[in-house]
């Protein structure tokens, strides 16, 4: 846990100045104040006494909005957020929007009716213009999903970079006709992922690569349909990039039922490193998101904002992915010298 000394060091200011900011005392310039708040955000420092003082006037509850908890990515995100929040005596309530604009608005009302102190949005369906008025009732942090130009802190992974790397990997394994499989509503996140895929194709510069777009695949059952769609309409496809381990599992399951050999007939990349990606036969190459780090950062920033109301510092916190290469894409044998 970060200390007040760590904050002073990072901000390049004295412990006394930091203490002044924490206790809302005068004689600190706005510029220094911002530097200190930024340092507290970066370190995840939450002053104890302020936290206590604050809590007594609050519900000590934050809400996390997400599309659906049956997606294990969000389940794991919530686990980490709760752990972090409960370190500071806050409880977390989980609200499923099911990608519905109305439900998202209904849950944001929890801020207005003072049922919660702050909100973390792990997805956004409405336009930001419709969300922004709720900032008057309490702080909002955006985590996982992101939008350029929002006046709130956002915490997310670089999805463009991740899909670029995963697509390059498929090409390095000798895939020449790669399908892009996604699902759910269009968002900044999904468009960034798509861009990474397209840039990888472009950078490789080979015209052999086919771009097949499937945009309706969300779960295992959809993955099974994807396999049949490929088999019947585009049997020349030899690689698939999916935005979901569940879709990848569905493709692999159905392929084995139809005597296609994975990865030789079809190489498959999943997303999120869910447990299922390890348990499948063959195991699934996947992109691991830094779920715990993103969850911790989002909660820390939200608590900071509860402690320092009015300081909506619209900074982006971008985390890096890891590509885990498993048997669903290993088409090339290691060369022996």
Which residues of this chain interact with a copy of itself, rule CB under 8 A? 59, 61, 63, 68-70, 72, 75-76, 78-79, 82, 86, 91-96, 98, 103, 106-107, 110, 113, 115, 220, 246, 249, 253, 256, 275-276, 278-281
Nearer to a copy of itself, 19 or 327 (CB): 327
Nearer to a copy of itself, 69 or 135 (CB): 69
What is the nearest approach in angstroms of a copy of itself to the Cβ of residue 93?
4
What is the nearest approach in angstroms of a copy of itself to the Cβ of residue 51?
16
What is the nearest approach in angstroms of a copy of itself to the Cβ of residue 276?
6
What are the residues whose beta carbons fall under 8 Å from the beta carbon of 32, sequence distance 6 or more? 11, 13, 17, 21
Q: Residue 48 corresponds to which tokens in the numbers above? A: 């104890």
What is the nearest approach in angstroms of a copy of itself to the Cβ of residue 102?
10
Tokens 């139809």, located at residue: 258
What is the nearest approach in angstroms of a copy of itself to the Cβ of residue 214?
20
- Contact (CB, 8 A) for 38 and 68: no
What is the nearest approach in angstroms of a copy of itself to the Cβ of residue 72?
7
What is the nearest approach in angstroms of a copy of itself to the Cβ of residue 260?
15
Rounded CA-CA distance 238/174 in Å is 9
Nearer to a copy of itself, 200 or 262 (CB): 262
Nearer to a copy of itself, 6 or 79 (CB): 79
Instruction: Please state the separation of Cα 184 from the chain's center in Å.
Output: 15
Q: Residue 80 corresponds to which tokens in the numbers above? A: 């980490």
**Spatial CA neighbour of 65 closest among 45, 85, 95, 90:** 95
Nearer to a copy of itself, 37 or 125 (CB): 125
- Contact (CB, 8 A) for 92 and 62: yes
Nearer to a copy of itself, 76 or 144 (CB): 76
Nearer to a copy of itself, 85 or 301 (CB): 85
What are the residues whose beta carbons fall under 8 Å from the beta carbon of 101, sequence distance 6 or more? 125, 126
Nearer to a copy of itself, 58 or 177 (CB): 58
Helices 220-233 and 245-257: crossing angle, nearest 10°? 50
The DSSP letter of residue 132 is G
- Kindly report the three-state secondary structure assignment for every residue of 17-51: HHHHHHCCCCCCCHHHHHHHHHHHHHHCCCCHHHH
Q: Kindly list the distances between the CA atom of residue 48 and the CA atoms of 22, 92, 184, 192, 289, in Å, as whole numbers in the listed order.
A: 10, 19, 41, 39, 31
Positive or negative CA dihedral for 201, 186, 231, 330? Answer: positive
What is the nearest approach in angstroms of a copy of itself to the Cβ of residue 197?
26
């Amino acid at each position: 846990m970060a200390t007040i000394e760590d904050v002073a060091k990072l901000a390049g200011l004295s412990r006394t100045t930091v203490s002044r900011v924490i206790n809302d005392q005068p004689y600190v310039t706005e510029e220094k104040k911002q530097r200190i708040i930024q340092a507290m955000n970066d370190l995840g420092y939450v002053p104890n006494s302020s936290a206590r003082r604050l809590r007594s006037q609050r519900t000590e509850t934050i809400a996390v909005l997400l599309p659906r908890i049956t997606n294990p990515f969000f389940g794991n995100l919530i686990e980490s957020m709760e752990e972090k929040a409960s370190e500071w005596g806050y409880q977390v309530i989980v609200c499923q929007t099911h990608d519905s604009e109305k439900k998202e608005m209904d849950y944001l009302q929890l801020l207005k009716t003072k049922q919660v102190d702050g909100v973390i949005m792990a997805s956004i369906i409405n336009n930001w213009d419709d969300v922004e008025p709720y900032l008057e009732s309490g702080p909002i942090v955006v985590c996982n999903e992101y939008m350029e130009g929002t006046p709130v802190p956002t915490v997310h992974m670089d999805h463009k970079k991740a899909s670029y790397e995963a697509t390059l990997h498929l090409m390095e394994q000798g895939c020449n006709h790669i399908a892009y499989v996604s699902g759910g509503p269009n968002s900044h996140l999904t468009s960034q992922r798509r861009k990474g895929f397209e840039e990888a194709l472009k950078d490789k510069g080979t015209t052999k690569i086919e771009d097949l777009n499937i945009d309706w695949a969300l779960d295992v059952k959809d993955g099974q349909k994807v396999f049949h769609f490929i088999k019947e309409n585009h049997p020349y496809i030899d690689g698939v990039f999916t935005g979901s381990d569940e879709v990848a599992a569905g493709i692999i399951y159905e392929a084995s039922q139809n005597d296609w050999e994975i990865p030789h007939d079809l190489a498959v990349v999943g997303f999120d490193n869910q447990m299922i990606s390890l348990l499948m036969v063959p195991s699934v190459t996947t992109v691991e998101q830094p779920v715990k780090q993103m969850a911790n950062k989002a909660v820390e920033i939200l608590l900071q904002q509860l402690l320092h109301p009015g300081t909506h510092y619209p900074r982006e916190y971008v985390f890096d992915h890891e590509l885990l290469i498993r048997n669903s894409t290993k088409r090339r044998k290691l060369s022996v010298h």
